[in-house]
Structure 1
Amino acid sequence: MNQPVATLSRLRSVELRTSAASESADFYENVWGLSVVERGSEGAWLRGTGDEHHVLQLTSAEQNGLGRITFAVRTPAEVDEAARRLGARGVPIVAGPGPTGEIAAGYGVSFVDPEGRVIQLLADAYAVTTMHRSDAVPVGVTHVVLNTVDIDAAVAFYTDVLGMRVSDWSEHQMAFLRCNSDHHSIAFNQAEWTAINHVAYEMPSVDHFMRGIGRLRHHGVVPMWGPGRHGPGDNTFSYFADPAGLVCEYTSGIAQVEEDRWLCRVWRRVPELSDTWGTAGPPSAEVRSHMAGVPDDGPFAHRADLRVSADR
């Protein structure tokens, strides 16, 4: 049996391809609560209050989509070994292994998954000083939900190749995967096409979560769904749309997994479990439409050589 290519320690950052890069950068800085690290004509890099150099990268594009998901690994040697194992499995590598030459520096390798998503494994990236702020702003990115045309194949790739563990299922519609003690850092949603569903940002507490919602309301931005608390993951939720129509979530209180004691559940998809508080009601047609996104074969869709069999 093949070993996973690496041991992932956490989700570092997400890159979004956006049709409204300038407006979205303004939104995430001035309304959402992130801080700009660098900004240019083609996009922006923004940080939370944690020590990651950046947690969100916005890249200008004609159509919305996922640019890249970056996970942390511990050392450059592990990146090199991951690249070797990826090659042995026939997984297409699009960059590295080696120094990235990017704004956060670091030593990394990037590859594509079976549906064309770009995943980066990164060590030795720049860190920044943790910001101690009392206002209600995100610590960083805590999870990403991805729409998939084949949830079983997606789960098989991320568990077998990346060593992630399934925490829970929501019937056969959603799967929640973890790489550390957080209940999930990636979740897959069975859908008609591959797309980014939403990106979730961690708030330090329920109080910060609610005050963050209040700040958005002050700016005239109201939740599409929420506030509420999910059954799977036990996290609070409130979903919004950014200027490009991409979905962003405030969340707090994600369940913590003890590896030797956790039992994976299959949750029923009923309103009282999608929102255990009973405050949000069922998701609206508007939020479902935004979460469906647009068909996205990834930034390397034109490269026929960069496709990997889902059964590897």
Structure 2
Amino acid sequence: MVTRVGHIALHVADLDAAVDFQQQVLGMVETDRLAGVSYLTCNDRHHELILIEDPHRRGYDHLALEVADAGILETAGKRIAAAGGTVLGGVYDGEPGIDRALKVASPAGHVYKLFCGMQTVAPPPPGDRPLKFEHVSTKVLNHRAEERFLTRGLGFRCSDRMGFLASWWHCDEDHHGIALTLAPRAELSHYAYTFGDLAALGRVADRLKAARHQKCIWGPSRHGPGNNHFLYFHDQDGAMIECCSELAQMQADRYQPRRWSMHPGTINQWGAPPPPRFLLTGFPIAPPQPGRPPWAVGDGRPPETTTATVRA
């Protein structure tokens, strides 16, 4: 059902500070700011990240997943319910940058926004920035129920598994768009961007230090599952970001799904196991709101004809 991973939405305490972090450290650009919400991109899609100013409710709002057309949204409810999920309101339109959407919750309580019709914008000017938003890693207690929801409800397929501790799931050729990690409560572990190469990750670390006097949590190094380079650090509000390059692709002749051992070397092929700061980081799920969220205020322009102005 899902054709690609779209974007993530986060609640932030100070919108200006959160946007500045994404611009200075990652190189993101803002395409729109409406009603206390910033839409940021790194390519020709209207947004790869939504930041919602909300000093009272810390957390991540949803992960957005693109589907082919509005007809799929209209018929998704039964499939979601049969897979153990919950439909949060009906199909709605009017949200900036997309045609229409439907929000659903997984058995663990993670909120997914199924959407269609992403608006395109003029590409950002040349710069050192991500190629796209890539994936999320979520913490869950009941892996089996969550995996059933991903496969039967959303159409994801398993890429790799590491014992009972973690699994990785794809909806397109990228090795994973969603990862599941065993934990005592449901939270966001991290959200990730794709970069061109390992050198680009090093430049991000340089900017993190120069602009924010902040050190990385873990990396750079290379994961086993996914075979990607990685670099982890916290954003302005304490959510963990992963910068990736060379993520494995799921063509049969290039990558074969496998079961990995639970040895620490599985996760870090080059160095030490994950530090406590990485393992203990968790960003809460913001209280879900059924249907069109109150912050999704349109600007009166038809989505199919809008051309957003990119503001660096």
Same fold by TM-score, threshold 0.5 exceeded? yes
Shift, 1:10, TM fit: 0.8
Distance 1:289 1:86 in 2: 31
Alignment of 1:209-248 (within 5 A): 209-219=201-211, 220-248=213-241
Shift, 1:205, TM fit: 2.1
1:42 to 14, 20, 36: 36
Does 2:165 correspond to 1:176?
Answer: no
Contact (CA 8 Å) 2:3, 2:65: kept in 1 or not? yes
Percentage of matched positions with identical amino acids: 27
Shift, 1:87, TM fit: 6.1
Which letter maps to 1:212?
Answer: V
Deviation string 1:100-159 (CA, Å, 9 cap, x unpaired) is 2011131222222212222111111211233462x4311221010001111111111111
1:273 to 266, 270, 286: 266
Residue in 2 aligned with 1:288?
279
Which letter maps to 2:207?
Answer: R
Does 2:65 correspond to 1:76?
Answer: no
Deviation string 1:209-236 (CA, Å, 9 cap, x unpaired) is 2222222222223211110110000011
- CA gap of 1:151–1:90, structure 2 versus 1, over 3 A, is closer
Alignment of 1:110-121 (within 5 A): 110-121=103-114
Deviation string 1:239-291 (CA, Å, 9 cap, x unpaired) is 0111211101111110001258854322123333212122xx2222222222x
Alignment of 1:198-213 (within 5 A): 198-213=190-205
Contact (CA 8 Å) 1:115, 1:297: kept in 2 or not? no
Which letter maps to 1:158?
Answer: L
Does 2:134 correspond to 1:165?
Answer: no
3-state SS in 1 of match to 2:219: strand
User: Please, which runs of 5 or more residues in structure 1 have no aligned partner?
Assistant: 1-6, 302-312
Residue in 1 aligned with 2:115?
122
Contact (CA 8 Å) 1:12, 1:52: kept in 2 or not? no
- CA gap of 1:262–1:207, structure 2 versus 1, over 3 A, is closer
Contact (CA 8 Å) 1:36, 1:44: kept in 2 or not? yes
Residue in 1 aligned with 2:58?
64
| Structure with larger RCO (C-alpha < 8 A, sep 6+) | 2
Residue in 2 aligned with 1:16?
10
Which letter maps to 2:107?
Answer: P
Which letter maps to 1:27?
Answer: F
Which letter maps to 1:288?
Answer: L
Distance 2:35 2:276 in 1: 34
Distance 1:137 1:122 in 2: 25
Shift, 1:32, TM fit: 2.0
Does 2:253 correspond to 1:253?
Answer: no
Q: Name which of structure 1's ranges 206-215 and 78-87 shifts more when overlaid on structure 2.
A: 78-87
Distance 2:58 2:278 in 1: 16
Which letter maps to 1:103?
Answer: P
Contact (CA 8 Å) 1:118, 1:298: kept in 2 or not? no
Contact (CA 8 Å) 1:107, 1:123: kept in 2 or not? yes
3-state SS in 2 of match to 1:70: strand
Distance 2:122 2:198 in 1: 24
Residue in 2 aligned with 1:142?
134
Q: Name which of structure 1's ranges 54-63 and 39-48 shifts more when overlaid on structure 2.
A: 39-48
The TM-score, its normalising length taken from structure 1, stands at: 0.84
- CA gap of 1:103–1:118, structure 2 versus 1, over 3 A, is same
Distance 1:206 1:27 in 2: 21
Aligned-residue RMSD, C-alpha: 2.3
Does 2:288 correspond to 1:299?
Answer: yes
Deviation string 1:62-83 (CA, Å, 9 cap, x unpaired) is 2432201111112222222324
